[in-house]
Amino acid sequence: MKPMRFSWKNICLPISCINNNTNQKTTTNPSKERLLLLSRQNSVPSKVYMSDFSNSTISLNDLSSSFLVNVHIFTYEELKTITQGFSKYNYLGEGGFGEVYKGFVDDSFKTALKAQPVAVKALKREGGQGHREWLAEVVILGQLKHPHLVNLIGYCCEDDHRLLVYEYMERGNLEEHLFQKYGGALPWLTRVKILLGAAKGLEFLHKQEKPVIYRDFKPSNILLSSDFSSKLSDFGLATDGSEEEDSNFTKSVMGTEGYAAPEYISAGHLTTMSDVFSFGVVLLEMLTARNAVEKYRAKKGRNLVEWGRPMLKDPNKLERIIDPSLEGKYSVEGIRKVAVLTYQCLSHNPKSRPTMTTVVKTLQPILDLKDIQNGPFVYIVPVAGSIEVHDIKCKDDVKVVKEETEEAKVCPRRQAGRRKRRKHKAMKSRAVYSDTALYKSLGSSLYTPAN
C-alpha cells in the first residue's frame, strides 16, 4: 500500500487557505451550525472559543474573518522577504512549536500596517505537531487585545506552512534576565513591575465570559519591551475554562515541568486556579533567582516549590532564600508581602489560592514602597590585602572605587619575590544596579504618572 503524504490540509484550514464552500454543504453538527450562524452575523461579531473546534470537522474555514481584530494575512513569500529568507542572522530562538525570526515591515508592505519590527514564528510540520497550538494562537490572540498580551499582527496558512507574526519585544523574555550568569542582576522594583504586568494579563484572560486558562505560565513566556513592560506570549496550550471547581478534566497533562498545579498533574483537574499556582512558582523564582526544577542539585532541593515554600511563612528563614545578587537592595516590607502572596498561590488546595484580581491588588502597592537602600551602588575592585579605598570613577548612580594595598608600600624586591611565590585567584562579582540608574540609562521612567 502506498503511504499517504502528510499535509496540513488533512487537518483544517483557515478561510484564507481555500475557497469557502460552506453554502454547498449541509450539516447536523450543533457546534458547526452555531459557527455557521455566527459567521453570517458580520455586523455584530461574536466571540469564538477553542471548544468550538473540539470536533475535527470544524475549522477556521467555517468562520468569518470579522472575528479577528486587526489581524493581517501574509503569504509565505512575504514572510520570507521580511526575514531575509529566514536568515540565521535574524534567528531569535526556538520554542516548543517552532523557530522564531526577526523581520521588518515598512509602510508600503500592507495597507493599514505601520512600519515596525516583527517576530515571525514558523511552526514545525513534522507529523502534524503544533497545528492545534497554531490554531489556538490565531483564535485567542486574534480576538483578545490587551496591553499585557503580545499582539498578534498576522498569520500565514499556505500549503504546508503555518506561521504567526507578532510584535517584536526588544528585551526578549524574563528567563533571559532573571537567570543570567553574567551582567547586572535584575533590580527588585523591575521584577515587581514585570510580574505585575503578567498578573494583569492573566487577570484579563480569567475575566472573559468564558475564562481562558493559560496553562503554560513561566518566565520564558513573559516577553519584555524596552522599558521592561511585560506581555504574555505563546498561547498554544491555552484553552477555554471556568472558575467552577468541577468544570474541566483532562486526561493529557500539558505544560512545563515544575509549573503545573498538583491537582492538574494528579487528577487532570484544570481551572483558572491552575494558572494561579503557576504564577506562584514564578513569584518564587523572582524571589530566589532559582529555576523551578534544578536537576543538578541534591534531591531535596531540586524542586523549588518543595524547597522554598516552607520558608516563605517564616520571617527568620525568609532571608535565606532571597536572591543574594540583590545584595539587600530591596524593600523588606515588599519582600514579606510577596512571600505571603507566593505562599498562598502555592497552596495545594485550589480553594485557598487567591484570584488573579487579588494578586494584582496585592502587587500594585508594592511598587510604591520606599524602604529600599538609598545611595549609589558601589563596586569595589577586589584586591588582596586592601587597607585604604579611594574613589576613581562615578557615573550616574554607579560608583567604582579602587583599593590601595599593602603591597604598594612594600620594597620592590620583596614585592617581586612575592609575585613568584603567590598564585592569585580571580574573584567574581555581580553588579547590582539600582532601579533609578537602570531606567535613567534607558531614558525612561519606572512609573507611569497617575492621571
Q: Which residues are annotated as a binding site for ATP?
A: 121
Cβ atoms of residues 45 and 67 within 8 Å:
yes
Alpha helices in 113-154 (DSSP H): 131-141
Burial of 307-342, coded b for 16+ CB within 10 Å and e otherwise, reads bbbebbeeeeebeebbbeebeebbbeebbebbbebb
Alpha helices in 224-354 (DSSP H): 262-267, 272-288, 304-312, 315-321, 332-345
CA nearest neighbour of 403 among 382, 419, 434: 382
Q: What are phi and psi of 89, to 5 degrees?
A: -75, -20
The verdict on whether 216 is a catalytic residue reads: yes
Catalytic residue among 52, 62, 216, 435: 216
Measure the CA–CA gap between 222 and 202, rounded to whole angstroms: 11
- Give CB contacts under 8 A, 24+ apart, made by 109-118: 109/78, 109/82, 110/72, 112/70, 113/72, 113/153, 116/167, 116/168, 117/168, 118/82, 118/153, 118/165, 118/166, 118/167, 118/168
Measure the CA–CA gap between 105 and 78, rounded to whole angstroms: 10
Measure the CA–CA gap between 103 and 118, rounded to whole angstroms: 5
Measure the CA–CA gap between 90 and 226, rounded to whole angstroms: 19
- One-letter amino acid at 219 equals P
E-strand ranges in 129-226 read 152-158, 161-167, 212-213, 222-224
On the 0-12 / 13-18 / 19+ scale of CB atoms within 10 A, 246 is exposed
CA nearest neighbour of 241 among 196, 200, 202, 280: 202
Measure the CA–CA gap between 411 and 408, rounded to whole angstroms: 8
Q: Is the torsion defined by CA of 358, 360, 365, 367 positive or negative?
A: positive
Cβ atoms of residues 259 and 292 within 8 Å:
yes
Q: List the helix and strand counts (H, then E) for the chain.
A: 13, 13
Measure the CA–CA gap between 108 and 113, rounded to whole angstroms: 8
CA nearest neighbour of 363 among 218, 215, 200: 200
All three cell numbers of 255, joined, read 505544560
Active site residues: 216
